Amino acid sequence: MNLKQPKDIFSAAQAFTIRDARQLVVTLILLAAALLPPTLLAGELYLQEWQPLTQRVTLQVEPLEPGGYSAPTPRFQPLEPDSLLEIDNEAKIQAQTEYLAAKYRRSESTIREYVELAWKEASKRDGMSPELLIAMMQKESSLRPKVQSRYGAQGLMQVVRRWHPEKLHPSESLFDPEVNIRVGADVLEEYLEKAGGSLNKALGKYSGNARGYATRVLDESYKLARVAAEAAGQVLASKG
């Protein structure tokens, strides 16, 4: 057996140790570079412990281009207030449309026009709900836009033209749902002001003091409000 001298064995072990240490240091440098923040343009590291590696090592870490990184999109993004209001209103309008279409056996497209017009006019006035206007239309005309009474009351809200000539143009027709609902809402608003805000008194005047009119209209308006609230709650819950 040919055994190396202790000096040769020591030299080989020393050479191996230094070479292995070089590789270890380079590995650590590369690992440190990977962990450096991207804002660092040039990081300079100096190795002073190991004489064979006293040369300077310069690392170039390029920053990300603008727009090159975007935060992960959350699974559920919070809805903006305007979006929430639109979703809420749409759910309510559609629920009321379906309820009325089934009740009067009319097409949803026709009924929805009346419902949307009621919402539009109510939004222009303080203290007036769309449900109230829709309930009045039910009581006055059963949602029939062309009906006319023997007293001359016309359309969805049974407006008498000769009593309110200042509220519409001579060329406008009360058989037009948009015109009729607008004028009917104007009349109710006027009566509310004269009644000091009393809805019961205003409804009584609108109907010519018909017995039980205000109670029936208000009951139906509450029912419509419940239909709307239930639908809106379900839709918003589904949005997370």
The 10s digit of each residue's pLDDT in 116-168 is: 999 999 999 988 999 999 999 999 999 999 999 999 999 999 999 999 999 99
Q: Is residue 191 part of a domain?
A: yes
pLDDT at 30 over 90: no
φ and ψ at residue 160, rounded to 5 degrees: -95, 115
- Do 37 and 91 lie in one domain? The reply is no
- Do 115 and 233 lie in one domain? The reply is yes
Q: Is residue 71 part of a domain?
A: no
Does residue 45 sit in helix, strand or coil? strand
- Do 89 and 17 lie in one domain? The reply is no
- Do 86 and 193 lie in one domain? The reply is yes
- Do 106 and 29 lie in one domain? The reply is no
Q: Is residue 70 part of a domain?
A: no
Residue 218's domain comprises 81-238
Q: Is residue 123 part of a domain?
A: yes
> Does pTM top 0.75 for this prediction?
no
Cα gap 194→110, rounded to integer Å: 34
Q: Is residue 54 part of a domain?
A: yes
What total number of domains does the chain contain? 2
Q: Which helix (H) or strand (E) holds 20?
A: helix 6-35
